Amino acid sequence: MKTTICLMLASVLSGAGSFAQTSSVAGNERSVQVNPGYTITLTQPTSPLNLASKITIPMTIVNVTNGDLLWRAEWSTDKDAWYSGFRFLLTKDGKEVETTFFHRKISGRQLRGDPDEVESGSTVLLPKPPGKMFVITIDLKRLYEITKPGEYTLEVFRFGEDEKTTIHSNIVTLNIVP
């Protein structure tokens, strides 16, 4: 019995050593950055934004390849369906600003008490030629409960069409005044 336990323990330790060896070799390999084929660029506001007004930020999507790019889009009659293709992060003092019900719905982060809604529509792949694909205006008050003046930062993410990469926008700083 003791021999069996000793052999099992030796086997486990031997396997752990092999695993550690494999991990260190894998850790020495350089990770390859996959080019998603497009960029997401937020426009930095040139002047302060008024808390009492609509707060919008233009976002430009550019195909940076030499050929058509297949773009996954939401096929829906809802004019705001495009929001669900992106993830938004608005922070103030290092913390995410309180989200609206709409933001929680499109990001799958509903809170207890949020109404249930039935999703409709489907996803389609659309070919987009090289160059500027489109400009979308983000309505930040549609996504966040912006109730105080101050300095905010905004970044946008999108999962690549390969579903393995995440494309990040530039980060913009917003000065919101009363």
* Distance between CA atoms of residues 62 and 58, nearest Å: 13
pLDDT at residue 154 in the model: 98
Does residue 61 share a domain with residue 6? no
pLDDT mean over 107-121: 62
Measured in Å, how far apart are the chain's first and last C-alpha atoms?
77
What local confidence, expressed as pLDDT, does residue 48 receive?
96
DSSP state of 99: B
Torsions phi, psi for 19 (to 5 deg)? -60, -45
Shared-domain flag, residues 23 and 48: no
In this structure, the number of other CB atoms found within 10 A of the CB of residue 130 comes to 15
* Same-domain status, 120 and 43: yes
pLDDT tens-digit series, residues 51-99: 999 999 999 999 998 988 888 777 665 677 788 889 999 999 999 999 9
Residue 169 pLDDT: 96
Query: Same domain, yes or no, for 1 and 56?
Result: no
CB 75, CB 158: distance < 8 Å: no
Q: Are residues 55 and 9 in the same domain?
A: no
pLDDT of 17 over the 60 cut: no
Distance of CA 23 to the CA centre of its chain: 29
Domain shared by 130 and 89, yes or no: yes
Nearest to 150 by CA among 100, 90, 89: 90
Residues 6 and 42 in one domain: no
pLDDT value of position 91: 97
pTM for the full predicted model: 0.71
Confidence of residue 132 (pLDDT cuts 50, 70, 90): confident
Say yes or no: 27 and 42 in one domain. no
What is the extent of the structural domain holding 160?
A: 38-177
Interatomic CA distance for residues 59 and 71, integer angstroms: 16
pLDDT of res. 8: 39
Say which CATH number the domain at 104 has. Answer: 2.60.40.10
